[in-house]
Structure 1
Amino acid sequence: MKFQKLFFSFSLTVLLSFIAFSQEKTPNEDQRYIFFFHNKFIEENDLNVAHPEYGKAEYNEILASFRKDNFIVFSEIRKKNTNAYDYAERIVKQIKKLLKKGVSPNKITVIGTSKGGYIAQYVSTLLANPDVNFVFIGCFRDVDIEEIPDINFCGNILTIYEKSDIYGVSAIKRKETSKLKVNQFKEIELNTNLKHGFLYKALDEWIVPAKKWANGNYTLN
């Protein structure tokens, strides 16, 4: 019951955010927006449950960090066993509504960690807008080229992976095989020694560059 209430609360927050935005006649030209997709562990467990190796997932802390820097953040705790492709299709429709309202595509950033990163990759593919920003975190393996051939990067792409993490490596191969336009592409290799657990935490090591990317700082200076 506690999980259901929490899920409803986050879903309601996202819904109310979209309703409020839809009522605006002219969006703030300087406002920037983030769509954040969490990892699979949060789909399957209450936020109070700690992963046996990586600890608790700091979902709320991650969102709070983005909001502290004045981003409007759209996020929710997904239902268990959410289909990544289907979910991405729904997000694409939401992003297109923002674009139709007059929001510049480079003011929109889609960020995903682990399974959420794969959702973000599908959004990149389906939206096919080279001016939207994307940050893929700990969500590429070399076998993806053969096992998930329908993903094509498109947009301003930042990938972040951890050297000790076997579930996320350099995604340069995906960039090279993608058939859509990539305006900007950059990769960051972290050395936290936290394995896949690095993305469970609200670490500056990945959040700070993600914010810079969302602010249009493609050199990350």
Structure 2
Amino acid sequence: MTPSPCLGIARAGRLIAILALSLAAVTAGAQAQTVLREMPEQVDPARHYIFYIHGRIVETEGPEAVSERFGPYDFKGITEGLASRGQTVIAELRAPGGLDYVDTLATHIRRMQDEGVPARNITVVGFSKGGYMALRVARALQDPEVNFAILAGCIAEAISGEDLSGDGLDGRLLSMANSADTLGFPCTPLFARNTHLASPVSVVFHEGSGHGLFYAADPVWMTPLLDWIEAGL
């Protein structure tokens, strides 16, 4: 039986439609996993941006760092997880050393705002030394609408008040820490000293992995973090 030309055209049309849908799905997936290693030349005021500030170990060992105590640091998995709901993640690899990246990041954020990105669409997520640096960025910017998530980044000196880097900060703030951690602590006492803050949130997990909890894109902390970010949009 000879196929009808109309039937062939119909099948071709369906195939084109399927391919178009597949391409759209791939494109949507790519948008949902946008991870950049540097500040883009242009920003989109309609998008939501997350800056991820990695822990100290990545400074010296790179994005595939492995800790003898906590195991592999899943830099790729964490950054892709942060981008999984459609936000653009900017995760720069900073040079080893001091705290110069604080000024760099503050400059990035001011530029974004100058180019039309609303403050509420900007989130800084910092882990360990990166969390401590995020506190300093919040202090430098003094913007109550920029979001800051501090993951095990409040050191003992900042909690006690001996280190005043976190005093006088501003922003929409979230602290996440593990009760088994001996390196980074809940920021609750620091938040209490900053009485001007509007409803800062402190979350404490009870996991045996200690500081290593944030070495992986664990849904235990990743899901509530992303929920908190979306609640402020």
Given the two structures, how large is their TM-score scaled by the length of structure 2? 0.78
Report the equivalent of 1:63.
79
1:69, distance to aligned residue in structure 2 (A) = 1.2
Structure 1 segments of 4+ aligned residues over 6 angstroms from their partners: none
Q: Aligned pairs, how many? A: 196
Contact 1:142–1:173, Cα closer than 8 Å, also in 2: no
Partner AA of 1:20 in structure 2? Q
1:135 deviates by: 0.3
Could you tell me which residue of structure 2 aligns to residue 126 of structure 1? 140
Give the structure 2 partner of residue 75 of structure 1. Answer: 91
What secondary structure, in the 3-state scheme, does the structure 1 residue paired with 2:199 have?
Answer: strand
Could you tell me which amino acid in structure 2 is paired with residue 150 of structure 1? S
User: Match for residue 179 of structure 2?
Assistant: 163
CA offset at residue 50 of structure 1?
1.9
Structure 1 gap segments, 5+ residues each = 1-11
C-alpha distance after superposition, 1:62-106 (max 9, x if no partner): 11112221111111111111x22x211111111011111221111
Alignment match of 2:125 (pick from 111, 133, 158):
111
Whose relative contact order is higher, 1 or 2, with alpha carbons under 8 Å and at least 6 apart?
1
Q: Distance in 2 between matches of 1:161 and 1:204?
A: 14
1:21-69 per-position Cα deviation (integer Å, ceiling 9, x unaligned): 2xx6xx22xx211011000011111344421111110001111112221
Larger-Rg structure: 2
Q: Which amino acid aligns with 2:72?
A: K
Amino acid at match of 2:223: V
Runs of 5+ unmatched residues, structure 2: 1-35
Q: Is 1:34 aligned to residue 50 of structure 2?
A: yes
TM-score by length of 1: 0.82
Q: Give the alignment of 1:1-221 within 5 angstroms.
A: 13-15=37-39, 18-21=40-43, 27-28=45-46, 31-81=47-97, 83-84=98-99, 86-144=100-158, 145-152=160-167, 153-178=169-194, 181-217=196-232
- Alpha carbons of 1:213 and 1:197: their partners in 2 closer, same or farther (altered >3 Å)? same
1:111-157 CA-partner distances (Å, limit 9, x unpaired): 00000001110110000001111100001134224432132331111
| Matches of 1:147 and 1:177, distance apart in 2 | 13
